[in-house]
Amino acid sequence: MGLPLISVVVPTYNRAHLLGEALDSVFSQSFKDYEVIVIDDGSTDGTEAFVRSRYGDRLRYLKQENRGISGARNRGIELAQGRYIAFLDSDDKWLPEKLEKQAAYMEANPSVGLLSTRLYRYPIVRGEEKREQTEICPPDFPKGFLELLTGKNYVPTTTTMVRRECLEKVGGFDPELKVAEDWDLWLRIARHYGIFCLPDILAEHRDHVQKTTQNLFKVYDGYWRFHEKMMRLFAADLPDFKAYRRRAISFEYLLGAEYLRHNKIRPALRHLWGSVSRDPAIGTYFTKNPKSLVSVILAFIKPYFALLFAMIGRGIELLIPERRQLTKPRPGAERRGNCP
């Protein structure tokens, strides 16, 4: 028996209640020349027992210590044997012709390295799918590298199929990025290969409370680090480097403001000062009405008020030992990344 044409990589973390629907949508595909690789990123909810009892040797299952979504996907890529690698998040589903249509397109268009499709998107509330709130995504798709770099990430990961040779050339997902790790990889691929999105709606994406976007600390920190990395990698490609740099700084400011809102004074002070020192007028980036002088002035001074409050808070921490002790992290405390 030869190698499969497509390797389907499914990372998962504590989603046994949703994983079955995702995997069933793969096994219901009209195209059959594929393998399924499930990477369990340290689940504690009975995922392993569920997968082994329900699917047995129909798929390849590997459990690892929690490394985050990038670590899980990269492990799946390492194990993959197919010419093409398709990614499916464990809380999403594919429609039956998804792999068939993508395989046909990739075989007919060898210059395309990354292929996506459109999808249905709807929320899950208290375990119930709210299909009446369905929208079709993405609203647009980047025509190439530059549009993807300077625009938005309209490349839905759960529909994406990539040629193995692309990943061998540019590498996998960056585990240092807690969000936008997919955007980073798509850009590295688009720098050398064509990218395209089929107009067909071939997947379903479900929003729920476990999504990474619910954690604003992770979101702001992730997008700040992502934009900083892009400036290092693609500075010469940016048509307006200053504008892009300002976008990066805006996320550091939002991160500092979020820390301040949660009374985490030291990181708030560090990031607020970092953003204001790099762009003294960063507040105007968020001006709601740029034609109003009052609106511009208020937006300009807002970061300085936030910085002042952070400085006062830090002063109180230094003056009151009890408060400083309360804010110190416990010895040995460690952060663990979770799949979004």
Distance CA 125, CA 42 (A): 25
Picking from 212, 238, 263, the residue at the C-terminal end of a domain is 212
Query: Is residue 140 included in any domain, yes or no?
Result: yes
Q: How many folded domains does the chain comprise? A: 2
Q: Both 58 and 201 in a single domain? A: yes
Distance CA 277, CA 285 (A): 15
Query: Is residue 340 included in any domain, yes or no?
Result: no
Q: Both 114 and 192 in a single domain? A: yes
Q: Both 192 and 264 in a single domain? A: no
Confidence of residue 207 (pLDDT cuts 50, 70, 90): confident
Q: Both 148 and 223 in a single domain? A: no
Query: Is residue 78 included in any domain, yes or no?
Result: yes
Q: Both 181 and 293 in a single domain? A: no
Confidence of residue 323 (pLDDT cuts 50, 70, 90): low
Q: Both 34 and 173 in a single domain? A: yes
Distance CA 13, CA 78 (A): 19
Q: Both 59 and 143 in a single domain? A: yes
Who has greater pLDDT, 19 or 336? 19
Confidence of residue 334 (pLDDT cuts 50, 70, 90): very low
The 10s digit of each residue's pLDDT in 32-47 is: 999 999 999 999 999 9
Q: Both 229 and 112 in a single domain? A: no
Distance CA 293, CA 56 (A): 66
Q: What is the DSSP letter of 330?
A: P
**Residues of the domain holding 281:** 215-327
Query: Is residue 337 included in any domain, yes or no?
Result: no
Element housing 265 (H / E): helix 265-278
Q: What is the DSSP letter of 3?
A: -
Q: Both 201 and 237 in a single domain? A: no
Structure tokens, 318:
């230094």
Q: What is the CATH number of the domain that holds 167?
A: 3.90.550.10
The 10s digit of each residue's pLDDT in 64-92 is: 999 999 999 999 999 999 999 999 999 99
Distance CA 86, CA 157 (A): 9
Furthest-apart CA pair in the chain: how many Å? 72
Burial of 136 (0-12, 13-18, 19+ CB in 10 A): exposed
Distance CA 173, CA 72 (A): 9
3-state secondary structure of 88: coil
Residue in this structure with the two tokens 């204001």, named with its chain if needed:
276
Instruction: Look at residue 340 and tell me whether its pLDDT is greater than 50.
Output: no
Query: Is residue 315 included in any domain, yes or no?
Result: yes
Instruction: Look at residue 335 and tell me whether its pLDDT is greater than 70.
Output: no
The 10s digit of each residue's pLDDT in 233-270 is: 999 999 999 999 999 999 999 999 999 999 999 999 99
Query: Is residue 112 included in any domain, yes or no?
Result: yes
Picking from 146, 179, 212, the residue at the C-terminal end of a domain is 212
Q: Both 64 and 101 in a single domain? A: yes
Q: Both 52 and 146 in a single domain? A: yes
Instruction: Look at residue 321 and tell me whether its pLDDT is greater than 80.
Output: no
Confidence of residue 210 (pLDDT cuts 50, 70, 90): low
Picking from 178, 197, 212, the residue at the C-terminal end of a domain is 212
Query: Is residue 332 included in any domain, yes or no?
Result: no
Q: Are 20 and 90 in contact (CB under 8 A)?
A: no
Confidence of residue 211 (pLDDT cuts 50, 70, 90): low
Query: Is residue 279 included in any domain, yes or no?
Result: yes
Instruction: Report percent pLDDT > 70 for the chain.
Output: 92
Instruction: Look at residue 118 and tell me whether its pLDDT is greater than 90.
Output: yes
Q: Give the CA distances from residue 140 to residues 205, 207, 280, in Å, rounded to whole numbers and listed in that order.
A: 16, 20, 34
Residue in this structure with the two tokens 């390849």, named with its chain if needed:
60
Whole-angstrom distance between the N-terminal and C-terminal Cα of the chain?
36
Residue in this structure with the two tokens 């997919």, named with its chain if needed:
182
Q: Both 155 and 273 in a single domain? A: no
